[in-house]
Amino acid sequence: MSDWIDVCKVEDLKAGQHVVVEVAGTEVAVFNLDGGFYAIEDVCTHDGAEIASGEVEGDVIVCPRHGARFCIKTGEVLSPPAYEDLHVFPVRVKDGMIQVRDDRWD
């Protein structure tokens, strides 16, 4: 099992904000959606765009290049041109610190 990586302190990631961190060589976007923390791979499955730079609408993120829409909570693709879901990474809060880990190889 992979190690948990510190992202930032809970108080440093306000509701509606996100931060991008590197986890095992992969860029991961961590979001605070109304006090819940969610992490997705920071790459659009349609064309490789950095998805975290897109517009967030509730729990949906819109790819800045071609408008594909994904659920931040589940990674599910919601509209074309993407057809493949985003990978969602496990997130936890431990001792006031948001942590994420890469579970793709577990």
Q: Does the domain made of 5-100 have the CATH classification 2.102.10.10?
A: yes
Strand partners, 61: 56, 70
For residue 1, what pLDDT band results from cuts at 50, 70 and 90?
low
DSSP one-letter code for 43: S
pLDDT in tens, 7-64: 999 999 999 999 999 998 999 999 999 999 999 999 999 988 899 999 999 999 999 9
Instruction: Please list the helix, strand and coil fractions of the chain in percent, rounded to the nearest 5, in that order.
Output: 5, 45, 50
pTM of the model: 0.94
